[in-house]
Structure 1
Amino acid sequence: MESRGGSLSAAVTLIQSLGEHADDVNCVAASRHCLATCSSDKTVRAYALDSLREMPFSPIRAHTYAVHCCCFNPDGSLLATCSTEGTTALWDARTGQRITVLLQPGGGSGVRVCAFSPRPLGGDAGQAPATAAPPVECLLSGSTDGTLALWDVRAHRCLKVASLKDGSVSGCAFSPCGRAFVTGSTIGELSVWDAVNMRCLHTTRSAHDLGVTAVSFSPPPRPVAGVERFETQRSIMASCGQDNKIALWTLALDRTGDCLTLRFCLEGHTAPVLCCCFSSDGHVLASGSVDKSVILWNPITGEKLLSIMEHQRYVTSCAFTPGAPYLITGSMDKTVKLWRLENTPTSQDAVGHRAAMQWSVEDVTSWLHDEGLAELTETFRNNHLDGQELLLLEKKSLGAELNIESLGLRNKLWRKLEELRSLEKTVSDTDVPDEFLCPISRELMHNPVIAADGYSYEKKEVEAWLHGRRRTSPMTNLPLESAILIPNRALQAAIRRWLESRVPPAQV
């Protein structure tokens, strides 16, 4: 199945359709070795990912009402399932043995969603370090009466309870750092919570007209060998709702305040969007809808990559397998489908910043030949301009440093460079650490500066922002105390080291 739009020839192949459930499939989840599904038929099913055969203990028939949600803990050893009966069950994902049943506080209302913390949470708030409890692995559950419960997974006890002011909990997800989680409600609100103290930090009202249906965080950037990490408290989040839209947000957790800022909305579905999820590298976003379609998006550019029309009824759930280009979708048509992705930003490897950055000097001269600029090959060869230097060229340096005298030739070269960079943007490099991207343009920074809000931006981008808008932070929308911009030399050096690390050793 080919893409119906977009610059990439994105495609998916249906690997298998699983039809064991007798009613609506409400949720799908994947670990590195297992696929779990749950249904209104009251069962949970588990499959080995390598063979797609049901595990010996599957199906699990322990719930007495519809099972709404299932999820794995970070290492895949535990599976949580929650149900209309007001309970959340924990299972050994390898044996299917039930470990415990957690009864939702607040009168036994149906539990609609659950999510594991990505890392252990700190000890009890308010305790001195000497007496504070050690970090614990936690599970969050949310119910139809608006109750939120935070559980100690190993001790099987409730740590904290909180409630939404209005509406039912319709979605929940922890931020990648684990410090916070976000909930969505049936009245359309998104709320940011302190994960340790269960304190509401921020609420965005009317995030989605008629209600939020799901929330999902993009995974954190992958570590890059030999490059110092700049710890950031920014995360990218997606939400979807009854308004037929997917919204992309930036969650900022820092000294300027806890804030959820809308980046942009994705529009392509013709009916309410019921689910959304990010690929394991964060460079593909999937969404499923009442219109029976699944759409794949580039969450960096907002580009629609692919539309799938294979389910016969509402698409209720979607999940990517960790570390592999596979997508799982579940539907009210009682089926679960597994898809292999091809030529998406997840699997694309032939074009983009990575390939250009690794060009040798000879690769660059070949590119010049291909673009009708053969007369410049000796100039580039004599100046030892490889792919890294090519992408970093500035327009003024074409004449001042490379001594290209012809104005027409300089303009032609610059246009070709702009075309190359434009192509790179659509291919969303899977390796660029998020902290190296300008929050405004989402492009690799070359001249990073620190603004008064504490964030780093590409200098020309933040200058244009301050010139054309009120003096507010692009990240938090809060007033900036000053328009002073301070060069971030440490970040610039880290970006340079990262760029150099991407060139094969023989070319350095």
Structure 2
Amino acid sequence: MANMVASLIHTITSHTSDVMCVAFTHNKLATCGGDKTVRLWSTEDFSEDECSPLLGHTYYVQCCAFSPFGTVLASCSTDGKLILWDTKNGSELAVLQHPSQNCIRVCRFSPDSARIVSGGDDNMICFWEVATHKLLGTLVGHEESVVACAFSADSNYLVSGSINGDLRIWDAKFGHGKCLAFELDGHDLGVTCCEFSPTFGTAEKPDSPVAVFLLATCGKDDLVKLWDFTAQVGTPTVSLKLRDTLPGHTDIINSCCFNPKGDILASGSMDKTVRLWNPLKGTPLFTIQGHERFVLSVDISMDGMMLASGSNDKTVMIWKLTDTSRIMAGLSGYEDPKATKSQTDSTGINTTVQKWSIDDVCAWIVSLGLEKYEDDFRQHAIDGTELLTLSSQDLELHLGIAALGHRNKILRSRDHIQEQPLCPDQIEATTSSTHDEFLCPITREIMKDPVIASDGYTYDRHAIQSWFEKGKNCSPMTNSVLIHQHLTPNRTLKMLIQKHIEKTT
């Protein structure tokens, strides 16, 4: 997952206010927001279901979540209602409320489909039985509004977070109401979201005597944190240990989610971006930009191929996720070192390139940093065979690529793939060395004024100064306390960046 990219494939503009939450199930996408509606969409063509919108709330709809099989949708609102909907016909199955009838901020189904929890402004978590809609119990311990909840993969534990910044672990199997453990310093200024990895540790081994999970949390401290969750099954012994801290966002992070394989973590922030991470290595993969305002929610489809992001710009954007390291390996001409003879036909043309689909070509264009032309290549149905025939004149006249530098970059890259096939490791190293050294570790954008901090890492001056202005005195890369805040210009790197920009524009 070294070269993950995302391309915009659809934008939903039906909401008339903030889009507070997005959620995927097997063949549907649910969205909800400040316009008091919950909407259902087909993931095949993103047409709206006949039963949509679902109308039942009288104030902001804060959150929505599908049951594991997708047959029931839950939504909760500032109006204090937790509504369960039949996803087939949009009918109300139940309307639930906390005893206090206060605003409900978050709702989640257990992976075994038996229970649903809700948390809200009464600082309380309520356990409900899905089949009977009965209140099973309440969990009390947070001192501020509960805004985040997540079940472990075995449905035995629940983690919750509040705007006070604390994380608490609860027994979700028996629901006796006792807090098993807590982390008071989960996130400075408040927790906003928490999610368990669906595959890490014993997530797929429910009979293990020791439960080991990976938990991701987000907060108002602009950080994503990864935690090692360990529990002795059948006992109240649990622990939560900080595993990694992922800096990069420059504002509050509102939402996070894992893909089904657990090898990608997405986070959405008030800095208007969505960031993709490798949660196992704790490294950044890609930054998605497109929304005009805050990203409030993100979710990844059950096949791992799409990501939805909701924003208070009133839109939902659907992104196609592509692992270009796999594509670049396949398209470079590399298959088996012993089979190099089969890579060219009688004309000497690389037959692997000829096998590129339109999607492969578009992903390759994105990997070159030329995603602005992706739609043009798609509309003209440029597959591998067509790509091999393109000339500079074709690129200009038929595909509308006026910039000579961009045309040359496409043709050079195409010729390089054919003439110098690389193995996957070489391609990954080449791609990384070409781009990563020019990107600021905080913003993941090309640096305009690179400076060296006392931790030895280079950052964009504006980004690291903003980091200091927020009162942070630790390294964004190592989390160790910085000796001082003096910044030294990295003139050599700045010169290299300028040359790189000149070559690609």
Report the TM-score range of the alignment, normalised by the length of the smaller protein.
Answer: 0.5 to 0.7
2-side partners of 1:302 and 1:221: how far apart? 14
Give the match for residue 256 of structure 2: 276
Q: Offset of 1:164 from its aligned partner?
A: 2.8
Q: Does 1:80 align with 2:59?
A: no
Q: Which residue of 1 aligns with 2:185?
A: 206
Structure-2 residue corresponding to 1:332: 312
User: Aligned-pair distance for 1:301?
Assistant: 1.1
Matched, 1:95 2:89: yes
Give the whole-Å Cα distance in 2 for the aligned partners of 1:261 and 1:323. Answer: 30
Read off the aligned partner of 2:126 and give its amino acid letter.
Answer: A
Does 2:27 correspond to 1:49? Answer: no
Aligned length: 339
Q: 1:99 to 1:322 in 2, by over 3 A?
A: same
C-alpha separation between the residues in 1 aligned to 2:321 and 2:287? 12
Q: 2:195 aligns with which of 216, 234, 249?
A: 216
Flag the 1:59–1:209 CA change in 2: closer, same or farther, 3 A. same
1:104 to 2:98 alignment: yes
**Aligned position for 1:259:** 239
Correspondences of 1:182-201 after superposition (within 5 Å) = 182-195=159-172, 196-197=174-175, 198-201=177-180
Q: Does 1:11 align with 2:11?
A: no
- Displacement after TM superposition at 1:99 (Å): 0.4
Letter of the 1:239 counterpart? T
Structure 2 counterpart of 1:235, from 213, 229, 244: 213
5+ residue gaps, structure 2, are 340-424, 433-505
**Is residue 202–residue 212 contact of structure 2 (8 Å, CA) maintained in 1?**
no
**Structure 2 Cα separation of the partners of residues 99 and 349 of structure 1:** 45
Maintained 8 Å contact 1:221/1:281: no
The CA distance in 2 between the partners of 1:175 and 1:145, in whole Å, is: 24
Aligned residue for 2:90, secondary structure, equals coil
Q: What is the CA-CA distance between 1:10 and the residue it aligns to?
A: 2.5
Equivalent residue of 2:192, what SS? strand
Task: Check 1:73–1:344 CA distance in 2 against 1; reply closer, same or farther (3 A cut).
Answer: farther
Residues 37-76 of structure 1, C-alpha deviation per residue, up to 9 Å, x if partnerless?
A: 0101111011011120000011112101110000001001
Hey, what does 1:116 align to over in structure 2?
109
Deviation (angstroms), 1:90: 0.3
Give the distance between the partners of 1:213 and 1:18, measured in 2 at CA: 25
Secondary structure at the counterpart of residue 55 of structure 2: coil
| 1:16-55 matches, cutoff 5 A | 16-55=10-49
What is the SS of the residue equivalent to 1:233? Answer: strand
Taking the aligned partners of 2:300 and 2:157, their CA distance within structure 1 comes to 23
The answer for unaligned runs of 5 or more in structure 1 is 1-6, 121-136, 364-418, 427-508
Alignment partners' CA distance in 1, 2:71 and 2:206: 31
Aligned-partner residue type, residue 251 of structure 1: F
Partners of 1:168 and 1:186 in 2: CA distance = 6
Partner of 1:68: 62
CA distance in 1, matches of 2:216, 2:187: 12
- Counterparts in 2 of 1:36 and 1:263: CA distance versus 1, 3 Å: same
Question: Structure 2: how far apart are the matches of 1:228 and 1:91?
Answer: 29
2 CA distance for matches of 1:303 and 1:325? 20
Task: Using the TM superposition, give the Cα deviation of residue 324 of structure 1 relative to its aligned residue in structure 2, in angstroms.
Answer: 3.1
Contact 1:305 / 1:344 at 8 angstroms: preserved in 2?
Answer: no
Kindly indicate whether residue 52 of structure 2 is the aligned counterpart of residue 58 of structure 1. Answer: yes
CA contact under 8 A between 1:67 and 1:84: conserved in structure 2? yes
Find the counterpart in structure 1 of residue 157 from structure 2: 180
Pair 265,224 (structure 1): closer, same or farther in 2 beyond 3 Å: closer
Question: 2:224 is matched with which residue?
Answer: 246
**C-alpha deviation, 1:165, in angstroms:** 3.4
The answer on whether the counterparts of 1:281 and 1:323 sit within 8 Å (CA) in structure 2 is no
Whether the aligned pair in 1 keeps the contact of 2:153 and 2:203 (CA below 8 Å) is no
What TM-score comes out, normalization by structure 2 length?
A: 0.63
Change (3 A) 1:229 1:141: closer
Q: Does the 8 A contact of 2:202 with 2:211 survive in 1?
A: no
The amino acid across from 2:121 in the alignment is: T
Asked if 2 retains the 8 angstrom alpha-carbon contact of 1:284 and 1:344, the reply is no
Residue-by-residue CA offset, 1:427-453 (whole Å, 9 max, x unaligned): xxxxxxxxxxxxxxxxxxxxxxxxxxx
The equivalences for 1:484-495 within 5 A come to: none
TM-score normalised according to structure 1 size? 0.62
* Distance in 2 (alpha carbons) for counterparts of 1:228 and 1:46: 32
Asked if 1 retains the 8 angstrom alpha-carbon contact of 2:106 and 2:149, the reply is yes
Query: Structure 1 residues 344, 80: CA separation in 2 closer, same or farther (over 3 Å shift)?
Result: farther
**Is the Cα–Cα contact under 8 Å of residues 160 and 169 in structure 2 kept in the other structure?**
yes
How far apart are residue 220 of structure 1 and its match? Answer: 2.4
2: distance between equivalents of 1:286 and 1:243? 17
Partner letter of residue 169 of structure 2? V
1:159 and 2:136 matched: yes
How far the C-alpha of 1:12 sits from its partner, in A, is: 1.1
| Identity value in percent | 38
Alignment-mate amino acid for residue 306 of structure 1: F
Paired AA for residue 217 in structure 2:
S
2:272 to 268, 279, 292: 292
Counterpart of 1:287 in 2: which secondary structure? strand
Q: Following TM superposition, by how much is the alpha carbon of 1:9 offset from its aligned partner in structure 2, in angstroms? A: 3.3
